[in-house]
Amino acid sequence: MKDVKGILEVCRYIENRSAEPLKLDELAKIAGMSKFHFARRFKSVVGVTPKEFAADARVKRLKRNLKSGTAVDGAIYDAGYGSPSRVYERAARNLGMTPAQYRRAGQGVQISYATIETPAGLLTIGATDRGVCFAQFGDSEPELTARLKAEYRNAEIEPMHLPQHPDFARWVKAIRGRLKGENLREELPLDIRATAFQMRVWKYLQSIPYGDVQSYGEVAAGVGDPNASRAVANACARNPAAVIIPCHRVIRASGDLGGYRWGIERKRALLDHERAHKRGTAKDG
């Protein structure tokens, strides 16, 4: 556990100095490890490389600056970027929109959506041209559409027209496949925003095998912070992409299902469906 403590200390160090250039040797020294052991251990504990974690911390600082009303260029330089052009090149992946659009709560961003039937009820999928930004369960299409519009209040939102855009059709097909335990290794592009901790949790959740479950404590240990069970539960509660980020596979240590953003019955339905499908596949094999 000593090395985990050292890794977490480095995480805090990076977050506090996200605008500064940081060298691997320097970070390894703080953790009390050799450079090569540190690089391997950091990724196994945090789920991303030190470089990726530092980049995420920088984006987080940029977002805070933009939300506070700081001028775009000032926000960019204060976050440690050498030039605005580098930020705009990566904006779609980091912010889901350009810095100026992010500052205006998504104004000018186009989102298309469609609703599908699943074993847990209706699921509305919303996507930009960069990836899925919304995947949530609900009781009716109007309710889900209203929720999507509330979340992206200044974006241009409209139903996906037929025939669906090839990318959107492929993403929907992949989500349907995941409900059946198919193509689980295929990465679906997500156009979502997250804190560094949420990113760690959400990435870890995607590693839980189809049909299996883990406790909140096991997930906390898996992301390198054994005492963060409550924080893990909060990250699950803020999951914007049901099924793609399978937070339904996280339960209490007692075996109780615990909470679920879209209702316990849906969580139970998803788990029952996965277990039944997994057993059926095993018998066929």
Whether 247 is catalytic is yes
Alpha helices in the chain (DSSP H): 2-16, 24-31, 35-46, 50-67, 72-78, 84-94, 99-103, 141-151, 166-179, 196-205, 216-222, 229-237, 264-284
Spatial separation of the C-alpha atoms in residues 224 and 2, rounded to whole Å: 11
Spatial separation of the C-alpha atoms in residues 193 and 96, rounded to whole Å: 7
Spatial separation of the C-alpha atoms in residues 255 and 241, rounded to whole Å: 24
Distances 213 to 122, 258, 285 between C-alpha atoms, Å: 23, 12, 22
The catalytic position among 11, 133, 236, 247 is 247
Chain-centre distance of CA 153, in angstroms? 20
Rounded to 5°, the CA angle 224-34-31 comes to 45
Q: Is the peptide bond before 159 cis (omega within 30 degrees of 0)?
A: no
Q: Are strands 110-118 and 121-127 parallel, antiparallel or unpaired?
A: antiparallel
Do the beta carbons of residue 112 and residue 119 sit within 8 Å?
no
Residues tagged active-site: 247
